[in-house]
């Protein structure tokens, strides 16, 4: 039995690695193919998880558009899939790599396993292009691994047979729990300045200081929304000297430009540069360091999908700086709050979390709806049983 795992970005790596490891532990052959849609952030993850790709399409160019990713990945994947002819192609999530890999597998009539299937906002431009990428993968896939019952219901409503859907939990929790077990008690990343590391230690030692961890990268927020988000962060920092914002900035130039213009003093000096003493802009962090900072944070402000799933496991409230979310279980559980992209609403929600112990307590006490850390094992069991019974070959 042969599998190919195809991925291209940081979150896909973080979430597909536990499945690769479990398949290999069970004796299956797993070929790893990366598109490297995100060259630097993917490599950071591959290095951390000690994963060496068998194929690397190395397709990233600066400021790439969706056509570039799709065309280059489709061309490259055709040759690899024709050569390897795996039993199943595994993809994760909603990136353009995941969509294109599914399309390539479908054209070659190879079965597709979709990890993290069924999340929906029902708004095709938000998140863009991820909502429709995920939907299209759902149309193409044979094995739908839904993280929650809600995700399963979404798929059933779209006509996917229940016999092809399995509720597994989200594999990100498998990775998170593994990394928390290995957790060190310092930020290790060598490239970060001593100044930042020393300041961080002082902040962590001071029980009056509150650490706010921030990330952001969504395409639909580029432009005015991103500037609003930055202005809100600036206001929060200015009003609250007892809060420190730590923001590892995504490498997309559409993100770097407004963030460094509004919040950074010196674009050339990216490591720990800041306009005010209580905002730190950093390079993307290695997963273990990011998890460490999540665990030390008071709350998190983000538009990230993965962080919406991870933070509740650490009992950290999340202000989701987006207009929609496909992670509505977290909203229901009151661990996530959707705050949109308007400056005053974002700043107001952060202020409320800083000021009100009751609001904070309600959000931090919620139970994580996204999994128990055993999702990868469930996925591998399903694949094993189906492949053993010959069901995979039925077209
Ligand atoms: C991509 C995914 C998004 C996912 C996100 C995770 C698509 C369309 N988008 O968005 O779903 O949530 O990854 O982070 O699939 N860049 C670098 N180095 C890197 C990464 C990016 O320089 O390691 C810069 C490059 O200029 C690149 C640009 O960022 O062209 C955009 O990268 P891309 O992968 O297209 O989009 P993301 O916003 O990262
Ligand atoms: N993450 C990381 N380093 C960082 C920021 C985030 O390792 O500096 C991790 C985070 O813990 C989560 C994943 O990256 O597992 C989320 O990636 P991203 O926000 O880029 O993508 P999304 O989840 O929105 O698709």
- Predicted pLDDT at 251: 97
- Which pTM was predicted? 0.96
- Predicted pLDDT at 272: 46
Residue 123 CA to ligand 2 center (angstroms) comes to: 23
Residue 366 CA to ligand 1 center (angstroms) comes to: 31
Cβ atoms of 216 and 255 closer than 8 Å: yes
Tell whether ligand 1 has an atom less than 6 A from the beta carbon of residue 11: yes
- Predicted pLDDT at 389: 85
Tell whether ligand 1 has an atom less than 6 A from the beta carbon of residue 130: yes
| Cα distances (angstroms) measured from residue 321 to each of 151, 217, 276, 339 | 22, 10, 22, 5
Residue 390 CA to ligand 1 center (angstroms) comes to: 38
Dihedral (C-alpha) 295, 17, 171, 394: value to the nearest 10 degrees?
A: 170
CA–CA distance, 312 with 266 (Å, rounded to integer): 34
* pLDDT string in tens for the chain (395-residue length): 899 999 999 999 999 999 999 999 999 999 999 999 999 999 999 999 999 999 999 999 999 999 999 999 999 999 999 999 999 999 999 999 999 999 999 999 999 999 999 999 999 999 999 999 999 999 999 999 999 999 999 999 999 999 999 999 999 999 999 999 887 778 888 888 888 888 899 999 999 999 999 999 999 999 999 999 999 999 999 999 999 999 999 999 999 999 999 998 543 334 444 556 789 999 999 999 999 999 999 999 999 999 999 999 999 999 999 999 999 999 999 999 999 999 999 999 999 999 999 999 999 988 889 999 999 999 999 999 998 887 775 55
For the annotated catalytic residues, the residue numbers are 94, 116, 130, 217, 219, 250
Which of 296, 255, 298, 248 has the alpha carbon at shortest distance from 273?
248
Cite the DSSP H helix spans in the chain: 10-25, 39-49, 66-84, 96-107, 130-140, 149-157, 171-182, 194-205, 224-239, 253-263, 287-296, 305-310, 328-332, 343-355, 357-364, 375-388
Q: Looking at ligand 1, which residue's alpha carbon is closest to its atom 35? A: 64
Which of 9, 5, 1 has the alpha carbon at shortest distance from 18?
5
Tell whether ligand 2 has an atom less than 6 A from the beta carbon of residue 77: no
Tell whether ligand 2 has an atom less than 6 A from the beta carbon of residue 292: no
- Predicted pLDDT at 183: 75
Sign of the alpha-carbon torsion through 137, 175, 9, 328: positive
Cβ atoms of 346 and 228 closer than 8 Å: yes
Closest listed ligand to the CA of 65:
1
Q: Looking at ligand 2, which residue's alpha carbon is closest to its atom 2? A: 287
- Predicted pLDDT at 187: 86
Strands 279-282 and 318-320: unpaired
Atom of ligand 1 nearest to the CA of 96: 15
Closest listed ligand to the CA of 219:
1
Q: Which of 49, 97, 215 to mutate to test the pocket of ligand 2 (most atoms within 8 A of CB)?
A: 215
Q: 206, exposed or middle or buried, with CB in 10 Å at 0-12, 13-18, 19+?
A: exposed
Tell whether ligand 2 has an atom less than 6 A from the beta carbon of residue 14: yes
Tell whether ligand 1 has an atom less than 6 A from the beta carbon of residue 96: yes
Q: What is the largest CA-CA distance in the chain?
A: 63
Domains of the chain are 2-169+374-389 (3.40.50.2000), 185-364 (3.40.50.2000)
* Helix 375-388 vs helix 10-25: crossing angle, to nearest 10: 60
Residue 216 CA to ligand 2 center (angstroms) comes to: 9
Q: Which residues contact 376 (CB under 8 A, 6 or more apart)?
A: 18, 19, 21, 22, 171, 174
pLDDT in tens, 140-188: 999 999 999 999 999 999 999 999 999 999 999 999 999 998 877 788 8
Q: Which tokens go with 167?
A: 């509720």
């Amino acid at each position: 039995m042969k599998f190919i795992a195809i991925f291209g970005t940081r979150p896909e790596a973080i979430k597909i690695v536990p499945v690769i490891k479990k398949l290999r532990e069970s004796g299956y052959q797993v070929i790893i193919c990366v598109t490297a849609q995100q060259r630097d952030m993917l490599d950071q993850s591959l290095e951390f998880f000690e994963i060496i790709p068998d194929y690397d399409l190395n397709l990233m160019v600066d400021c790439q558009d969706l056509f570039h990713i799709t065309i280059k990945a489709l061309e490259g994947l055709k040759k690899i899939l024709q050569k390897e002819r795996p039993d199943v192609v595994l993809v994760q999530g909603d990136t353009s790599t995941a969509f294109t890999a599914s399309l390539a597998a479908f054209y070659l009539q190879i079965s597709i396993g979709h990890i993290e299937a069924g999340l929906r906002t029902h708004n095709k431009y938000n998140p863009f292009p991820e909502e429709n990428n995920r939907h299209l993968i759902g149309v193409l896939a044979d094995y739908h691994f839904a993280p929650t019952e809600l995700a399963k219901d979404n798929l059933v409503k779209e006509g996917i047979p229940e016999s092809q859907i399995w509720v597994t939990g989200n594999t990100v929790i498998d990775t998170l729990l593994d990394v928390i077990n290995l957790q060190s008690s310092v930020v290790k990343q060598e490239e970060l300045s001593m100044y930042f590391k020393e300041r961080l230690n002082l902040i962590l030692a001071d029980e009056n200081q509150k650490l706010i961890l921030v990330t952001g990268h969504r395409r639909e927020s580029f432009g005015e929304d991103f500037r609003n988000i930055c202005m809100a962060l600036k206001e929060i920092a200015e009003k609250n000297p007892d809060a420190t914002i730590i923001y590892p900035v995504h490498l997309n130039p559409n993100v770097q430009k407004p963030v460094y213009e509004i919040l950074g003093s010196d674009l050339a000096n990216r490591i720990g540069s800041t306009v005010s003493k209580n905002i730190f802009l950093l390079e993307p962090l290695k997963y273990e360091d990011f998890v460490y900072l999540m665990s030390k944070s008071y709350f998190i402000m983000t538009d990230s999908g993965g962080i919406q799933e991870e933070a509740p496991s650490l009992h950290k409230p999340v202000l989701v700086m987006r207009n929609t979310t496909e992670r509505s279980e977290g909203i229901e559980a009151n661990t996530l709050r959707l705050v949109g992209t308007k400056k005053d609403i974002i700043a107001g929600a952060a202020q409320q979390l800083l000021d009100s112990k009751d609001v904070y307590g309600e959000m931090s006490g919620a139970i994580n709806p996204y999994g128990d850390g055993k999702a990868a094992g469930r996925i591998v069991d399903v694949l094993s049983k189906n492949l053993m019974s010959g069901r995979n070959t039925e077209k």
